[in-house]
Structure 1
Amino acid sequence: MSENPNTAFITDDTIVFGILMGILGLVFFTSNLKSSFVKKFYTVIPPLLLCYFLPGLLNSFGIISGQHSNIGHISSNYLLPACLVLFTLNLNLKELWAMRKNAGIMFLASMLGIVLGGPFAVWVMSLFAPDVVSGDTWKALATLAGSWIGGGANQAALYTILQPSPEQFSATLAVDVFVAYGWMAILIYGASKANALNRYFKADNSSVEALTHRMDAIAKSNVRPTEVKDIFIMMALAFGVVAIGHFVAGQIAGFIEMKAPELSRFSLTSKFFWLILITTLLGIALSFTRARQYEGVGASKFATVFLYILIASIGMQMNILAILANPLLFLVGIIWIAFHALLLFIVAKIIRAPFFFYAMGSMGNVGGVASASATAAAFHPSLISVAVIISVFSYAIGTYAAYVCGILMQMVAP
C-alpha cells in the first residue's frame, strides 16, 4: 500500500466492491440484450474491454482508488488461484490426445508463436524505436504474454509476480484487448470462408465433422441440474487447494529466499509465483479424479465469475490516460500477433490442418475460454466444448510459458 493519502471520492472498500459488481452486472446484462444497437455497440467495444476500462475511468478521475484498495490483493491471492483450479478441473487430456494430430500441433505452434513472437517484436522495435521497449517495459509485455498464452488469470498472475508499472500495464492492456479482439474478428470472418481455406491448405475436414458429432453427444450427456451441495463442494475444492497452495508456497519461497536469494531475479522467491504453480498443478491432478464431473454443474461458470471480479479489480488500478503516452506499443502488439499468425500459417500448410484447428490453436491461446468459445461457435455451436478444452490447457501452462517469454524479452530489450 502506498504511503500517499487516499484522496479518492469513495474510500470504503465495501462500497467500491459494490460499484465493481454493479459494473460487471451492467456489462453482462446489456451485452445480452437483443437490441440491434446494443449488438453493434458490443461488436465495436467488447464487454471485456468495458470490464477493464470502466473501473479504470473511475480510478483515473479520482472517484475510487485502486492504489489504496485491498480488493486487488484479495482478488489476486484468493479468487485468482481458485479460478485456475476450477478452470483446470475440466482439463481432458484424453480428448486432447484424440485431437493430437491437428489440434495439438496447432496449439503448440500457437503457443510457440507467442513465446517467440514477443522477443521478436521487442527486438524489431529496439532497432528503430528503442525507447518504446526500454527499461522494464518487458514486464508489462510479459503480462500480455500471460493473456495471449492463457488468459486473464495468467495475465493477473504475471502482473502480481513481476509488478510492472501501472502506466506501462495500462498501455499493454489496451494493446491486449484491441489487437487480440481484432485478430479474433479476422478468425471469425475466416470461419465463414472455412471451405475455401481448407481447400487452400489441402485439408481433409472430415475430422472436424466427426469431432462435431462426438462433442455434441458428450455435451448432452454431462449436464445436470446444479444443487446447493454441488456449489459447496466446488468451493471446498477450489479454496481448499488455495489454502494448501498458500501454505506450501510460503514454505518454498521462504526457503529459497534464505538459501538462494540471488534467484529472486527469476521470481523464485515470490510466494505468489509458487502459489500459482502449485494450485495449477493440483487443479490438473484433480482433473484425473471424479472432481472433473463438477464441470457439468458449472465449475467453469464460477471460475468465470471469479475471473471477471479479478479483471475489474485490475482495471481499477489503471490510469486510462497513460494509454496515450506510448502509442507505438500498439505496433509491438501487431508485430507480435503477425509473427504468431505467420508461424501458424506455415505449420497449418505443412500438416494440412483444417482452418478450424488453426483458429482454435490461435484463440485457445490468444483469446482464452471466452474468445475461443465465440470463435468455435462461428464454426458450429457443439464445437464450443473443444474450444474450452484447448483453452483450459492453455490456462494450465500459460503462466509458465509467459514467464519464459518475459525472460526472453528481458534478454533482447535495449
Structure 2
Amino acid sequence: MITDGFSYLAVLMAISAFIVFAEQKTKAKLFEYLPAIVIIYFVVMLLSTVGLWQKSESVTATYKTLKSDLLPAMIFLMLLNADMREIVKLGKKMLLTFLLASTSIAIGFIGMFTLFHSSFAPNAWKAFAALTGSWMGGTGNMVAIQGALDLPDAALGYTLLIDSIDYAIWVMILLALVPFAKRFNAWSKADTSVIDKVGERLALKDAARSPMDFASLFLLLGSALLVSALSQYMAALLPTTDFLTKTTWVVIIATLAGMFFAMTPLAKRSGASELANIMLYLIVALIASRANFAELTEAPLYILAGFVIIAIHAAIMILFAKLFRLDLFSLGVASLANIGGVASAPILASAYSKALIPIGVLMAMMGYILGTFGGLMVGKILEMIAA
C-alpha cells in the first residue's frame, strides 16, 4: 500500500501517461468509444477501490496541493487558443447557432432536473452543474466547476459516465446524419455560402502559428504557474458567499486571464493545449484517486437523465433551424462544440469538408470560454430547484 505522496503522484502520472500513449499508438477500437481521459478515471478509481494507496497525511497533502495549484494553470493554458477577435469573425449566424446550442443544452438540464430532481440525492445538482460545464465547453470546464462547487470526487464518476456513454451515442447520430445534409438544408431553406469562406480563412491563420519549441513550452508553463499563484492570491482578497467561494473566484480569475492573454503574442506560442491536457489528465487522475466504485449506485438513472437532456436540446435545435433557416453543418458542429469540445467538433466538421475543420476547432474554443460561466449559472438554477 502506498503512503508516500511522491510515490502516489508518480503512479498516477505513469498510469495517465501509459493510457494516453496507448490511445495514440495502438488506435484500438476501445478508444473510439471511451476517450483516454475516461479510461484514466475508471482505472484509477478501480485502484483506489482495491486500496492501492492510503489516505495518509503525505498523500492527502499531495492531492490537495496539486489539485488546487494545477486547476487555474490548466484553465489559463486551455483558453490561450480562444481568441475572441477570431471568434467574432465567425459571423453572426454561426455565433448565434453556437449560442442556441449552449442555451438549448442549459434548458435541457433545467427541464430534466425539474422532472427528476426528487429521484436524485440532495447534492446531485452539483454533479449536473459540472456536466453542464462539460457539455457547454469540455472536461476542463467540468473539472473547474467541480472545484468551484466543492463537488465530492466520487460524484464526478456520474458525470463522466454520462459524458462518455450519452455523448458517444450522440456523436454517432450526428455523423450518421451527414449524408442527409442537403435534404435537411432544403427543408430548413438554409444558405451555406458563407461557411466555406470562413473555413478557408481560418485554415490559413492556423498554419501561421509558430512551431513548438523548448523556450515556448518553458514560457507557457512559467506563465501558467504564475497566473495560478496570482489567481489564488487575488481570490483570497475578494468577498465570498455560499455560491461564490474562494475556489470559484480562482476559476473566474484564471478564466478571465486566459481570455485576455489569448489576444497577446503569448498565444502565438505553440504548446499551450499540450501542457493544459497534461494538467487536465493529472487532475482527473487525482480526483479519481479519492473515488470508489461502491459509491456509483445510481448510474442508470444518471445515464437516462443524460439522454433526456440531449432529446430536449435536439428538439429545440430542430425547431430553430426551421424558424431561422439554419444548416445541418452549423447545427451539428455547434452541438458537438458544446457537448464534445475540441476532440469531436473538428471530426464532424471534417465529415462535411476538410476545409471546415478550423470552424469546428474555433467553435470548441468558444465553448471553453462559456462553459465554466454557463455551468455555474445553470448550477445556481438547479440548486434553487433542488431546494
TM-score, normalised on structure 1? 0.86
**Equivalences for 1:224-235 in 2 at 5 Å?**
224-235=210-221
Contact kept, 8 Å, 1:170 with 1:323, in 2: the verdict is yes
Q: 1:79 to 1:388 in 2, by over 3 A?
A: farther
What residue is the counterpart of 2:116 in the other structure?
125
2:230 maps to 1:244? yes
Name the SS of the counterpart of 1:328 in structure 2: helix
Q: How far off its partner does 1:160 sit? A: 1.7
2:338 maps to 1:395? no
Q: How far off its partner does 1:145 sit? A: 1.2
Distance 1:397 1:11 in 2: 39
Q: How far off its partner does 1:166 sit? A: 4.1
Q: How many residue pairs get matched? A: 385
1:10 to 2, 6, 27: 2
CA deviation vs aligned residue, 1:23-51 (integer Å, no higher than 9, x gap)? 2222222223356xx2x222233323202
2:33 maps to 1:30? no
What residue is the counterpart of 1:336 in the other structure?
309
Contact kept, 8 Å, 2:221 with 2:275, in 1: the verdict is no
What residue is the counterpart of 2:73 in the other structure?
82
What residue is the counterpart of 2:100 in the other structure?
109
Distance 1:139 1:278 in 2: 21
Distance 1:380 1:313 in 2: 39
What residue is the counterpart of 2:262 in the other structure?
287
CA deviation vs aligned residue, 1:61-119 (integer Å, no higher than 9, x gap)? 21135795345434432222112212222222233222233321111111112222212
Contact kept, 8 Å, 1:140 with 1:168, in 2: the verdict is yes
Name the SS of the counterpart of 1:32 in structure 2: helix
Distance 2:99 2:314 in 1: 13
Contact kept, 8 Å, 1:102 with 1:351, in 2: the verdict is no
Q: 1:360 to 1:189 in 2, by over 3 A?
A: same
Contact kept, 8 Å, 1:201 with 1:354, in 2: the verdict is yes
Structure 1: unaligned runs, 5 residues or longer: 1-8, 258-262
Distance 2:360 2:294 in 1: 35
What residue is the counterpart of 2:35 in the other structure?
46
Distance 1:71 1:393 in 2: 33
Name the SS of the counterpart of 2:211 in structure 1: coil
Contact kept, 8 Å, 1:133 with 1:413, in 2: the verdict is no
Contact kept, 8 Å, 2:82 with 2:259, in 1: the verdict is yes
Q: 1:326 to 1:216 in 2, by over 3 A?
A: closer
Q: 1:79 to 1:371 in 2, by over 3 A?
A: farther
Identity of aligned residues (%): 28
TM-score, normalised on structure 2? 0.91
CA deviation vs aligned residue, 1:116-171 (integer Å, no higher than 9, x gap)? 22121011124xxx2x2241111121111121112222211221222234443322
Distance 2:215 2:320 in 1: 46
2:146 maps to 1:155? no
Distance 2:64 2:352 in 1: 39
Structure 2: unaligned runs, 5 residues or longer: none
Q: 1:75 to 1:192 in 2, by over 3 A?
A: farther
Contact kept, 8 Å, 1:114 with 1:148, in 2: the verdict is yes
Q: More deviation in 73-82 or 63-72? A: 63-72
Q: How far off its partner does 1:275 sit? A: 0.7
